[in-house]
Structure 1
Amino acid sequence: MGRVIAVANQKGGVGKSTTAINLSACLAERGKKVLTIDIDPQGNTTSGLGVDKNSVENTLYELLLGESGIKEVIIKGVVENVDLIPSNVNLSGAEIELVGVDEKEYILKKEIDKIRRKYDYIIMDCPPSLSMLTINALTAATSVLVPIQCEYYALEGLSQLIHTIELVQERLNKRLKIEGVVFTMFDARTNLSLQVVENVKDNLKQNIYKTIIPRNVRLAEAPSYGQPINIYDSKSAGAESYRLLAEEVINREDE
């Protein structure tokens, strides 16, 4: 059975999509079969994996509303060993349309359960809010990976996110656990980045990945070419970091 990992943080701009795209691609590079699910109406993960989000017919929106089955919405082989469930701006309407639907928190879980055996990893890119879409992802997930930007307000939204995860554990998904925190956009030249890392380590009783993702020009450029970093610039610092993160994620499974 595949591990289902939600990449979540209700703060925007912390590197969620970057992490979902590149962790997926680096796990796939290690021979793992990966399904990436774009749960963000911005559709950044969809376009970052080279799919035109505006012209795609079947998306997560159609899946959640029961207009398409899960097999119809999966785009096969966007990168070698990576399949994708895309999303676009239509998804922002799902929240309203699902009001009054019974067990709406479980829609995604029920669909994922149908295909989970086919994948080693299912990586979900969550929107930057604690919305019904994020709750759906957390209910379907086995664990949550939290990217944190190395900046002054890094810890601010984190206690809220952890509280939400605990509520989901209590009421909807007993098995959910925090996979770990990964630091992103680390700038070794600033004391602030170092302070944030130390601060989070002191205040957070969570697993923290050893791998720290640097600020990296190539990493920022890659999505505009619709490629993960390990394909766009295989030797860049960003590619090396995400390979190390993928290795840690794989090893954590063996513990």
Structure 2
Amino acid sequence: MANDISGAKPRILAVANQKGGVGKTTTAINLGTALAAVGEDVLVVDLDPQGNASTGLGITRRPHQKSSYHVLIGEADLDDVIIESAIPRLHCAPATIDLLGAELELADFERKTHRLYDAINLLNAKNKRHYSYILIDCPPSLNLLTINSLSAADAILVPLQCEFFALEGLSQLLKTVERVRSTLNPKLVIQGVVLTMFDKRNSLSDQVAQDVREVLGDKVYDTVIPRNVRVSEAPSYGKPVILYDHQCVGSQAYIRLASEVIRRERDLKAA
């Protein structure tokens, strides 16, 4: 059953890593799909100029389409750009290539680091749409778009590819999280780190997973996302892998991840 969250604020998770190709967008859309499948109302905010979260949810770009870019620069409210996906309970605020220039345009704006925060607060105040989760798909860099995401978020979810330099990139991201927490958003916490593109045939994957768990302990989810052809194929069909092939190992992993995320959120509320 869906949560009765009338009047309640959504839980806002920024899916972020400054490195590209780590499964960030794949994690955002499949986690969103899995959460929706268990009755949560979910909004995916696409803040990546590439717009892969939007196309991965089957949302095609239309001429003169309003997007998350227009929200950031104040030309549209978040409520005005939200589009229903083909997945019940899952909506998307799509991205367009205009986001590439957003950083320069925002430089002279007041509250330039809190544009998304203000937009989400306005959405909640309008009381039209109630979401239990808002997932923000961040660009693969630590720019003003990502800072807006972290300023708006309650927590950050970090996809981390099982590769040699994984910990090095993670340390840079953690420093950014600390800076945002100390200057812009004191409530920001790390919801968890999810290991992606895990290849059980490769001993390096095991070593990276072990190293990350030693450093971050229980911040690392038990669920590991494996390398899986079906996960790679799904975006070209405009579908999350959970819809494209529900039975494949990638889909099952994301369903388990959603369960872990919900469990952590419940533990946090209980505490």
Query: Hey, what does 2:205 align to over in structure 1?
Result: 193
**Which runs of structure 1 show a deviation greater than 4 angstroms over 4 or more consecutive aligned residues?**
none
Shift of 1:78: 3.8
Q: What SS does the aligned partner of 1:151 have?
A: coil
Query: Hey, what does 1:5 align to over in structure 2?
Result: 13
Find the aligned partners of 1:39 and 1:155 in 2 and give their Cα distance: 24
Find the aligned partners of 1:249 and 1:63 in 2 and give their Cα distance: 28
Q: What SS does the aligned partner of 1:253 have?
A: helix
Query: Hey, what does 2:84 align to over in structure 1?
Result: 76
Q: Is the 8 A contact 1:181 1:206 kept in 2?
A: no
Query: Hey, what does 2:54 align to over in structure 1?
Result: 46
Instruction: Could you tell me which runs of 5 or more consecutive residues in structure 2 were left unpaired when the two chains were aligned.
Output: 1-8
Find the aligned partners of 2:181 and 2:195 in 1 and give their Cα distance: 24
Q: Residues 57-68 of structure 1: matches in 2 within 5 Å?
A: 57-68=65-76
Cα deviation 1:18-40 (Å, max 9, x = unaligned): 00010000000001000001110
TM-score w.r.t. structure 1 length?
Answer: 0.97
TM-score w.r.t. structure 2 length?
Answer: 0.91
Find the aligned partners of 1:157 and 1:150 in 2 and give their Cα distance: 12
Shift of 1:203: 2.3
Q: What SS does the aligned partner of 1:97 have?
A: helix
Find the aligned partners of 1:145 and 1:65 in 2 and give their Cα distance: 26
1:249 to 256, 261, 265: 261
Shift of 1:79: 1.7
Shift of 1:89: 1.2
Shift of 1:229: 1.2
Shift of 1:55: 4.1
Query: Hey, what does 2:5 align to over in structure 1?
Result: none
2:37 to 29, 36, 39: 29
1:17 aligns with 2:17: no
Find the aligned partners of 2:86 and 2:105 in 1 and give their Cα distance: 29
